[in-house]
Amino acid sequence: MDHAPVVTAPGLKVLAHFVPGAKVIDFLAPHTHWLDIRYCAEDDEETFYRELPQVDVLWHVLRPLTGDDLAKAPALRLVHKMGAGVNTIDVAAATARGVPVANMPGANAASVAEGTLLLMLAALRRLPELDRATRAGAGWPSDPTLGETVRDIGGCTVGLVGYGNVAKQVERILLALGADVRHTSTRDDGSPQWRALPDLLAESDIVSLHLPLTDATHGLLGREAFARMKSDAVLVNTSRGPIVDEAALVEALRSGSLAAAGLDVFATEPVPADNPLLTLPNVVLTPHVTWYTADTMRRYLEFAVDNCERLRDGRDLANVVNQVAR
């Protein structure tokens, strides 16, 4: 007598809060016999709330995850941040519900470091302005102010505010280019390159932010900080938008007390159409994507699958940022 084959249902239901490409699908294909992965675009609230009550694991990107959201996920056993910063997750609410929150420290460091260099160069060398001029046929003869304003990174002092995985990758790149690199962090680490923040701001031709968003770092760079910086300095932010007082930044860029900025992150995301930063010619903008490369996505998926395997097998989870009862 023939028997129908036994089909085993996947052991874990995962809601991936992003739209997958072919490389993501291919990477995860060998795991779909035990992972039931559903995908949801970050702005697709209907799908998000339809899937949320059933999922064991949420692969979280940037769309804020609130306590109300967590209350709608009674089966949730893990929130896994696809990245390092967990400021977009209500970690306290997750802890209260006994849900571990894990992150992926260092997984996007190489990509964000390269994106930081991209913004540094684009702002320092006035790339948006030159691109517009060339497209308009107005690039010749060359603007004589280029020889007065554009700098080589190798001739600059670069100040790194924060000194974690990304900042250290940026430092290695900058040193290879000949830059003089300083850094600041929560305390003097004994390095001759360490500076207190006020001194770092005053000495640097480029200031690059690499901090988590906390109560202590919210609004860290405002009018007082910009007043300490050189008038021909460049600010680069690839960390979190609210670390910078945007109104003060706009004022500094408009008045000429700051030369330029390269920004991947903003106080409000998506950026509102009336944000004055969008109108300034001395600002280079990208939409919080310096981390978003095929290489980083592969590293993220490796971390995410590993923690799902740990959850499935009853082993300790990696990189958990909160303490929950077991």
Contact status, residue 178 vs residue 151, Cβ threshold 8 Å: no
Contact status, residue 236 vs residue 207, Cβ threshold 8 Å: yes
Amino acid 143 reads D
| Cα–Cα distance measured from residue 228 to residue 198, given in angstroms and rounded to the nearest whole number | 7
Contact status, residue 208 vs residue 159, Cβ threshold 8 Å: yes
Structure tokens of 111?
């990509």
The dihedral formed by the CA atoms of 18, 22, 27 and 29, expressed in degrees to the nearest 10? 90
Burial degree of 212 (CB within 10 A; 0-12, 13-18, 19+): middle
DSSP string, 183-217: EE-SS--S-TTB--HHHHHHH-SEEEE-----TTT
Question: Which residues are known catalytic residues?
Answer: 240, 269, 288
Residue the block writes with tokens 């060359």 = 142
